[in-house]
């Protein structure tokens, strides 16, 4: 069974609003000459035969009168309003809307073909990328030592002091003992992970030593699925040479809700069993409990390696609670990030050419705006 996990809002309710008796009427209200251009006047000019819709318009009128925009309503309120608006239209107009929505269904079917072809092209080109990924792996792990080359891009001048906040100092310490004789690029993947906010937030102190053994990440494509593979050198934590995470993609258009189709989105995932070595499990630990409760207990702990043990979806959707929705929503986003960004562009995250921190882009935009304002001020002077 395929289940598409979308972002949900916890306890989303409609705002409490008052109903204006002046608006709740079936007659068209003639606008006053002095107020005809105001938002509330425009709302009052609408002929409203439906009581529920009149109440919605009354809410909008109250919001305009108080100086706020109707956009403050929840998505549920806006959806109900527009549904009610369409139902209030003359039958001929409703027939035209039906034809337009049928056209939209045909558009969705063609769009599905487009997405499927794009996905197949992506699978095809993966075989062309593979030799480069193998060379990258060999260089990172010290199996190949390439001859020096001239950059095939324009290097940006960068002069800055290393921030003393966040985890930058700890990252810097990982490279303090490197020299000309150091093979490859040690801690490459751990550095990439720790400097990407979306990954760093699920890495905990006890995970870092194990992640130093990570030597490669690959992706295997199937017709409507893909599998991420995390390869590790032999280590003291687990026996697995690699860990996997598989993702199933949406294959079909829901006949009951065709307009929800937005491409082959992830609909389910499956992890793998980690064969932990004795006393080296990073996802569980024993804690001392009350002797009356049986002494020590095995409890789960937060860890990056929980990524390989996601919640399992059931056929009964009513059993999926808010917390599970949120976990899977974040998981699916992270999988897409690995697929689209980390695997193909890892070195650019290692060098700082790419950054997944939204605040970073906000800072860049602010700097550009400040520079533009300074330039304008200089010209005016």
Banded model confidence at residue 63, pLDDT cuts 50, 70, 90? low
Residue 70 confidence (pLDDT) above 60: no
Query: Is residue 9 assigned to a domain?
Result: no
Query: Is residue 332 assigned to a domain?
Result: yes
% of the chain residues with pLDDT over 90? 48
For residue range 318-358, list pLDDT tens digits in order.
567 888 889 999 999 999 999 999 999 999 999 988 887 65
Query: Is residue 25 assigned to a domain?
Result: no
Query: Is residue 58 assigned to a domain?
Result: no
pLDDT of residue 161: 59
CA atoms within 13 A on the CB side of 338: 25
Residue 264 confidence (pLDDT) above 90: no
Q: Please report, for the domain that includes residue 266, its CATH number.
A: 3.30.1120.90
User: What pTM was estimated for this model as a whole?
Assistant: 0.72
% of the chain residues with pLDDT over 70? 69
Number of domains in the chain: 1
Residue ranges making up the domain that contains 174: 163-373
For residue range 3-36, list pLDDT tens digits in order.
455 433 334 333 333 333 333 333 444 444 444 4
Banded model confidence at residue 169, pLDDT cuts 50, 70, 90? confident
Query: Is residue 246 assigned to a domain?
Result: yes
- Report the alpha-carbon distance of residue 267 to residue 269 in Å, rounded: 7
Residue 290 confidence (pLDDT) above 60: yes
Query: Is residue 151 assigned to a domain?
Result: no
For residue range 93-142, list pLDDT tens digits in order.
999 999 999 999 999 999 999 999 999 899 899 999 999 999 999 999 99
Query: Is residue 71 assigned to a domain?
Result: no
Give the range among 168-182, 309-323, 357-371 with minimum mean pLDDT. 357-371
């Amino acid at each position: 069974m395929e289940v598409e996990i979308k972002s949900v809002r916890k306890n989303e309710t409609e705002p409490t609003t008052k109903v204006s008796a002046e608006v709740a009427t079936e007659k068209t209200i003639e606008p006053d000459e002095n107020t005809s251009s105001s938002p509330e006047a425009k709302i009052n000019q609408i002929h409203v035969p439906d009581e529920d819709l009149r109440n919605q318009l009354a809410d909008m009128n109250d919001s305009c009168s108080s100086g706020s925009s109707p956009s403050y309503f929840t998505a549920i309120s806006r959806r109900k309003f527009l549904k009610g608006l369409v139902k209030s239209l003359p039958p001929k107009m409703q027939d035209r809307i039906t034809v337009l929505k049928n056209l939209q269904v045909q558009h969705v079917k063609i769009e599905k073909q487009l997405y499927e072809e794009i996905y197949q092209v992506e699978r095809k080109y993966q075989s062309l990328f593979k030799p480069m990924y193998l060379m990258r792996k060999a260089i990172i792990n010290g199996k190949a030592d390439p001859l020096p080359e001239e950059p095939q891009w324009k290097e940006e001048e960068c002069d800055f002091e290393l921030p003393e906040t966040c985890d930058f100092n700890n990252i810097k310490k990982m490279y303090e003992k490197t020299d000309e004789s150091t093979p490859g690029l040690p801690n490459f993947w751990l550095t990439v992970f720790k400097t990407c906010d979306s990954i760093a937030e699920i890495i905990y102190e006890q995970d870092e030593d194990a992640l130093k053994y990570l030597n490669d990440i690959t992706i295997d494509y199937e017709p409507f699925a893909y599998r991420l593979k995390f390869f590790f050198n032999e280590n003291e934590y687990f026996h697995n040479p690699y860990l996997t995470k598989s993702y199933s993609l949406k294959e079909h258009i829901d006949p009951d809700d065709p307009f929800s189709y937005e491409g082959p989105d992830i609909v389910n995932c499956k992890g793998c069993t980690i064969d932990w070595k004795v006393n080296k499990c990073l996802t569980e630990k024993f804690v001392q409990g009350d002797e009356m409760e049986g002494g020590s207990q095995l409890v789960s702990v937060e860890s990056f390696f929980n990524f390989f043990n996601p919640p399992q979806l059931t056929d009964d959707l009513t059993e999926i609670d808010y917390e599970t929705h949120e976990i899977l929503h974040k998981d699916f986003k992270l999988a897409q990030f690995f697929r689209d960004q980390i695997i193909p562009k890892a070195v650019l995250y290692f060098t700082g050419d790419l950054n997944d921190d939204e605040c970073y882009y906000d800072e860049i935009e602010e700097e550009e705006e400040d520079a533009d304002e300074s330039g304008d001020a200089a010209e005016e002077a």
